[in-house]
Structure 1
Amino acid sequence: MSQNGDAIDLDKSLGYLLKEASSALRAAMEEVLRPLRMTITHYSCLELLAQRPGLSNSELARGAFVTRQSMNVLLRTLERDGYVTRPAEAPVGKVLPARLTPRGRESLEKASKAVRSVEVRMLAGLTEAERSDALRILRSMIHSLRDDNDGA
């Protein structure tokens, strides 16, 4: 119900539709990553490390939208399985910067192709101009919500 007591038309609620799109995207990504024995968080972690080697557990957790504790468990598993490497001791402070191994890069390459196929499928019905508009509009929404949140 809206504030004035009227029912919200979910088909016209941008927030609801964004959540539905997010859920559909997540399900499609999980589907293509599952045969690679990878989760979305696992993929996100590898992608972040490929783009910014040496990120800390906290930075990876923020980038993958998970808790530090969850990321720490994942990093230990990825390290044990040979996908990432971290120094035995922190070079500075307590931070153990993580880096991809060759095995991690190879795994990421396969996962990136799979995830890209989902994005291509998701955007198939849009023109190039509509894709550009969608990116611009989504960035604007994120910016507006973060600005409002910062001022609270």
Structure 2
Amino acid sequence: MMRKAADFTRSKSPRKASAASDGSAVHVPAPGEGKRGEQGYLGYLLRQAHAAVRLTMERTLADLGVTSPQFAVLTMLNAYPGLSGADVARLTFLTPQTVGVIIRNLERDGAIAMTPHPVHGRIQQWTLTPRGATLLKACRDRVIALEKRLARNLDSKAETTVRRWLAGIAADLQDD
């Protein structure tokens, strides 16, 4: 049985139309429209927002030579000096393999340094170097501007509510 293609309104910026199975054009909704807006699933909306923030962050940090995952690693090492690569991977939601590559690159560039764990000699602990701290500060200045943009339509109470909601989701679903 053939489904009739949904009739979406045009977004502010024209989107390329794709052909539906019946030959008619289907208009892809812009973020904020249809299922990409308030009618969408919360999980999808969170992912859509994350993708938009990550892309904006990538563009914001590009001329510093820092990627969004590198920024996350630098941030976590600044907040929790002495983390192992496995700890960094868990905190940044990256694979251990990806973190390994990031750590090697940051170490090569002089942004982080390794010290052996005092008890478990095979565990490597990572900390920011002065160069890494300077790089992180430059990144943070830009990311703070993005954070302000994200919260610009929220009063402090609403921002606190959103932060609690997002942190609560992570805490509630961590063992699923």
Which TM bucket (shorter chain)?
A: 0.7 to 0.9
Would you say how many aligned residue pairs link Structure 1 and Structure 2?
140
| Cα separation, 1, equivalents of 2:156 and 2:168 | 18
| Cα separation, 1, equivalents of 2:169 and 2:112 | 34
Specify the structure having the higher radius of gyration (Cα): 2
Trace 1:126-145 onto structure 2 (pairs within 5 A): 126-145=154-173
CA RMSD of aligned residues (A): 1.7
Counterpart in the other structure of 2:62: 34
SS of 2:174's equivalent in the other structure is helix
Counterpart in the other structure of 2:98: 70
Structure 1 residues 128 and 72, CA, compared in 2 at 3 Å: closer, same or farther? Answer: same
2:98 maps to a residue whose letter is S
The alignment status of 1:107 with 2:135, answered yes or no, reads yes
TM-score, length-normalised on structure 2? 0.74
The alignment status of 1:57 with 2:57, answered yes or no, reads no
Per-residue deviation at 1:137?
Answer: 1.6
Further displaced range: 102-111 or 72-81: 72-81
Cα deviation code 1:78-129 (max 9, x no counterpart): 1111101113x55424111011110000000000111111110111111111
Per-residue deviation at 1:143?
Answer: 2.6
SS of 1:97's equivalent in the other structure is strand
Cα deviation code 1:12-43 (max 9, x no counterpart): 22122111111111111111111111001111
TM-score, length-normalised on structure 1? 0.85
* Larger strand percent: 2
The alignment status of 1:84 with 2:112, answered yes or no, reads yes
Tell me which of 38, 53, 63 is aligned to 1:25. 53
**Which sections of structure 2, spanning at least 5 residues, go unmatched?**
1-5, 7-33
The alignment status of 1:119 with 2:142, answered yes or no, reads no
1:146 maps to a residue whose letter is Q
* Larger helix percent: 1
Percent pairwise identity: 34
| Cα separation, 2, equivalents of 1:144 and 1:53 | 27
